[in-house]
């Protein structure tokens, strides 16, 4: 209980301290200390066994209602200010729904805050990865062209966002969940618009209205829960049965699809890539979008082996393939990472919606390791952007000569996403086994299995295509200039890499399977190779074979893009599937 309070309040206190003291060094100390404290608390919570619940005081509940109304009015104002009809309409719809719900909501209920296994696991991801990103953000903002106050505000906002995230994963009341959901939407909106230019503004508004759809479906879901079962609590709702239960749950899972930027909503997450890199890393990859699989996991006891669960698995699986495929047409590094995030979120949701014990565990593992690896990749992308001014993979050709260390981190990120024995790979491997074992009972999961296999192959193509751009380097007889990577960037990257390795070791050991441990053997071998690099000096060097051509070699990258017709069909298909979730929910 106290520890949860620490998780919620500490980031806010740290944000205040940052606001008070403008000294650069102090900022590092504060964010470093916050990271250390938060991860220790989260880890000790994770290892503690007991679940606990508590009520919010009445006054606080009223405060939340007021804050919620203010928030929605702020959205309305933003919609009015920038003349965006969609934002306005959705804000009004939410205001009306919210007002009506609060007027009929049952007063008494079970505890608003419930900390269970899933919440503790989420604490681990949010604070471990989020803390590292905050530490990185301090250095990143130094090079940003903004006023010192705005820079501190930025880091402070990231910290406050951490506490919002910490609260959302233990919210048991749907209305509290809605409030925090809207808070994350607000954070997204403000931080995407941070740079204040035309594109940022436009993309921020796009993110706003798309996420508002999520807010609306949550409210409708809550309304149905109140009418059907007279409750606004997740746990009471999930324990009930029959009636309109499936409809309510279906609507809530639709909010997850929106937050997880599943197609056709992937536009907001890609637009969000114009934001400063720490925002992309924190909100749009490592923590905030994880609300999507989290929500499906929370609902999975009801979703398991139902039509609604089936259709969400289907959407998730198809998104996994479609987003991986679409990523192959992109050349901006962060957009590529964004698409692959959308893809993997789809996979996590698909596994969570299957809802067997095994698939739930795998979805959680994927969540953790995806957060770590993607944070590492995004932060490395930020280094390339800040130190070398490269955003596009076309500009990154031969980067390994100029930024060997950063490229090393990126390659490590790719390897940790695709190869044994790292966590994300192991997750995919066990997912194949797990889904295959369900096939006899549910032949329809063949689609999920197929999507899992093909999507993984496409992601391999995607990552190593990017690697091809980074790697093409000259013979090592030609010396090239390298720029050292500054400590403020280096430390967060090292910490994340350490987490990835430690996590992989821990996960492998947990399997208690000697063969799984042996899978790590080749990777150890490869990592040991640099130790014999000195013995390579006895071989003579030569230049690559150019078939007699004298001109310098420029490696071309390969792009694959579906035709406009296919793209349109794809969006329509996913749109129909999205609506179908509600329809199926209504029918069952």
Partner 1 sequence: MIWVWIALAPILGGLVYGGERVLRARMQRRQGPPLLQPFYDMFKLLDKRTLIIHAPHALLALAHFAVLWFSIAAIFLGWNLLYIIFLHLFAQILLILAGYSVRSPYSHIGSNRELLMVVAYEPILILVAVGFYLVSGSFEIAEIVKGENYLLQIPLLFAALLIIVPIKVKKSPFDVGEAHQEIVGGIEVEYSGVFYEFLYMSRFLEYIFIYSFVYLFGGESHWLGAVLVFGVFLLVNLVDNATARVRPAHMLKIIYTVAVSLAVVNLLGILL
- CB closer to partner 1 out of 161 and 422: 422
- CB closer to partner 1 out of 13 and 519: 519
- CB closer to partner 1 out of 89 and 419: 419
Using CB under 8 A, which of 547, 550, 564, 565 touches partner 1? 547
The neighbouring-strand residues paired with 54 are: 113
The region of 143-151, 196-204, 281-289, 511-519 touching partner 1 under the rule CB under 8 A is 511-519
Residues 411-440 that bind partner 1 (CB under 8 A): 411, 415, 418-420, 425, 429, 432-433, 436, 439-440
> How many angstroms separate the Cα of 35 from the Cα of each of 92, 124, 126, 356, 413?
39, 12, 11, 34, 21
Asked whether the beta carbons of 153 and 19 are under 8 A apart, the reply is: yes
The region of 4-12, 22-30, 103-111, 519-527 touching partner 1 under the rule CB under 8 A is 519-527
The region of 100-108, 213-221, 279-287, 513-521 touching partner 1 under the rule CB under 8 A is 513-521
| Cis peptide bond upstream of 451, omega within 30 | no
CB of 469 to partner 1, least distance (A): 9
CB atoms within 10 A of CB 99: 12
Question: Is residue 536 within the footprint of partner 1 (CB under 8 A)?
Answer: yes
- CB closer to partner 1 out of 198 and 540: 540
- CB closer to partner 1 out of 140 and 425: 425
Q: Is the dihedral angle over the CA atoms 370, 376, 381, 382 positive or is it negative? A: positive
Residues 447-486 that bind partner 1 (CB under 8 A): 449-450, 453-454, 456-458, 460-461, 464-465, 467-468, 471-476
- Listed residue (278, 391, 385) closest to 333, CA to CA: 391
# chain residues binding partner 1, by CB under 8 A: 59
Question: Is residue 446 within the footprint of partner 1 (CB under 8 A)?
Answer: yes
Q: Name the strand (E) or helix (H) holding 113.
A: strand 113-115
Cβ-count burial of 413 within 10 angstroms (0-12 exposed, 13-18 middle, 19+ buried)?
Answer: buried
Asked whether the beta carbons of 303 and 319 are under 8 A apart, the reply is: no
Question: Is residue 339 within the footprint of partner 1 (CB under 8 A)?
Answer: no
> How many angstroms separate the Cα of 105 from the Cα of each of 59, 97, 101?
16, 12, 6
What are the tokens at 471? 């790697």
Q: Is the dihedral angle over the CA atoms 306, 312, 316, 321 positive or is it negative? A: positive
CB of 534 to partner 1, least distance (A): 9
Using CB under 8 A, which of 479, 543, 548, 563 touches partner 1? 543
Which three-class secondary structure string do you get for 341-396? HHHHHHHHHHHHHHCCHHHHHHHHHHHHHHHHHHHHHHHHHHHHHHHHCCCEHHHH
CA distance 332 to 28: 30
Binding mask 341-380 for partner 1 (x = CB under 8 A): ----------------------------------------
Question: Is residue 398 within the footprint of partner 1 (CB under 8 A)?
Answer: yes
> How many angstroms separate the Cα of 270 from the Cα of each of 206, 280, 293, 370, 444?
10, 10, 19, 18, 31
Question: Is residue 546 within the footprint of partner 1 (CB under 8 A)?
Answer: yes
Query: Residue 545 region, left (φ>0) first, then alpha (ψ -120 to 50), else beta?
Result: beta
Side-chain half-sphere of 237: how many Cα atoms within 13 Å?
30
What are the tokens at 228? 């059907």
CB of 270 to partner 1, least distance (A): 23
Using CB under 8 A, which of 58, 81, 103, 539 touches partner 1? 539
- CB closer to partner 1 out of 102 and 561: 561
Question: Is residue 515 within the footprint of partner 1 (CB under 8 A)?
Answer: yes
Binding mask 56-75 for partner 1 (x = CB under 8 A): --------------------
CB atoms within 10 A of CB 218: 26
CA distance 238 to 234: 6
Using CB under 8 A, which of 2, 198, 481, 540 touches partner 1? 540
Using CB under 8 A, which of 81, 147, 242, 544 touches partner 1? 544
CB of 435 to partner 1, least distance (A): 9
CA distance 78 to 69: 14
Buried b (16+ CB within 10 A) or exposed e, 477-499: eeeeeeeebeebbbbbbebbbeb
Using CB under 8 A, which of 22, 143, 522, 575 touches partner 1? 522
CB of 355 to partner 1, least distance (A): 20
CB of 509 to partner 1, least distance (A): 17
CA distance 317 to 312: 8
In the block, residue with structure tokens 């940022």: 200
The region of 38-46, 339-347, 480-488, 542-550 touching partner 1 under the rule CB under 8 A is 542-550
Q: Which residues bind partner 1 (CB under 8 A)?
A: 398, 400, 411, 415, 418-420, 425, 429, 432-433, 436, 439-440, 443, 446, 449-450, 453-454, 456-458, 460-461, 464-465, 467-468, 471-476, 515-516, 519, 521-523, 525-526, 529, 532-533, 536, 539-547, 553, 555, 558
């Amino acid at each position: 209980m106290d520890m949860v309070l620490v998780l919620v309040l500490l980031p806010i206190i740290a944000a205040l301290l940052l606001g008070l003291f403008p000294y650069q060094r102090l900022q590092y100390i504060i964010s470093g200390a916050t990271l250390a404290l938060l991860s220790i608390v989260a880890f000790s919570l994770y290892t503690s066994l007991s679940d606990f619940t508590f009520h919010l005081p009445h006054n606080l509940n009223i405060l939340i209602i007021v804050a919620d109304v203010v928030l929605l009015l702020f959205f309305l104002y933003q919609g009015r200010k920038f003349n965006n009809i969609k934002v306005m309409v959705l804000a009004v719809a939410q205001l009306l729904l919210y007002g009506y719900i609060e007027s009929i909501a049952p007063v008494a209920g079970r505890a608003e805050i419930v900390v269970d296994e899933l919440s503790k696991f989420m604490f681990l991801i949010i604070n471990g990865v989020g803390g590292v990103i905050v530490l990185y953000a301090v250095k990143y903002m130094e090079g940003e062209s903004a006023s010192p106050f705005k820079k501190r505000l930025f880091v402070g906002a990231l910290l406050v966002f951490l506490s919002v995230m910490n609260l959302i994963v233990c919210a048991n009341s749907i209305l509290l969940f809605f409030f925090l959901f809207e808070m994350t939407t607000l954070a997204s909106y403000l931080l995407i618009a941070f740079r204040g230019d035309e594109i940022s503004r436009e993309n921020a508004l796009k993110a706003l209205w798309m996420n508002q759809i999520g807010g609306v479906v949550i409210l409708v879901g809550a309304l149905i829960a109140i009418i059907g079962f007279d409750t606004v609590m997740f746990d009471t709702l999930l324990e009930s049965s029959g009636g309109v239960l499936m409809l309510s749950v279906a609507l809530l899972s639709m909010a997850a699809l929106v937050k997880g930027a599943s197609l056709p909503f992937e536009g907001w997450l890609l637009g969000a890539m114009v934001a400063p890199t720490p925002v992309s890393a924190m909100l749009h990859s490592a923590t905030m979008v994880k609300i999507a699989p989290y929500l499906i996991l929370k609902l999975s006891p009801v979703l398991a082996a139902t039509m609604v669960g089936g259709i969400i698995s289907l959407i998730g699986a198809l998104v996994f393939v479609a987003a991986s495929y679409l990523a192959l047409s992109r050349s901006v590094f962060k957009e590529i990472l964004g698409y692959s995030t959308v893809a993997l979120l789809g996979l996590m949701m698909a596994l969570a919606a299957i809802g067997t014990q095994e698939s739930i565990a795998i979805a959680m593992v994927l969540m953790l390791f995806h957060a770590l690896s993607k944070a590492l990749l995004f932060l490395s992308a930020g280094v390339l952007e800040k130190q070398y001014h490269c955003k596009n993979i076309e500009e990154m050709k031969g980067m390994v000569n100029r930024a060997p260390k950063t490229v090393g981190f990126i390659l490590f990120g790719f390897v940790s996403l695709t190869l044994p024995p790292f966590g994300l790979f192991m997750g995919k491997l066990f997912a194949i086994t797990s889904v295959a074992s369900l096939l006899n009972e549910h032949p329809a999961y063949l689609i999920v299995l197929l999507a899992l296999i093909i999507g993984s192959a496409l992601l391999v193509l995607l990552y190593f295509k990017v690697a091809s751009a980074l790697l093409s380097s000259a013979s090592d007889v030609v010396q090239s200039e390298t720029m050292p990577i500054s400590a403020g960037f280096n430390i967060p990257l090292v910490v994340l890499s350490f987490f990835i390795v430690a996590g992989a070791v821990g996960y492998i050991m947990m399997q208690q399977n000697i063969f799984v441990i042996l899978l790590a053997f080749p990777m150890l071998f490869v990592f040991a190779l640099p130790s014999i690099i000195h013995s390579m000096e006895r071989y003579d060097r030569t230049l690559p074979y150019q078939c007699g051509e004298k001109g310098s070699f420029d490696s071309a990258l390969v792009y694959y893009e579906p035709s406009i017709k296919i793209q349109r069909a794809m969006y329509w298909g996913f749109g129909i599937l999205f609506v179908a979730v509600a329809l199926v929910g209504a029918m069952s």
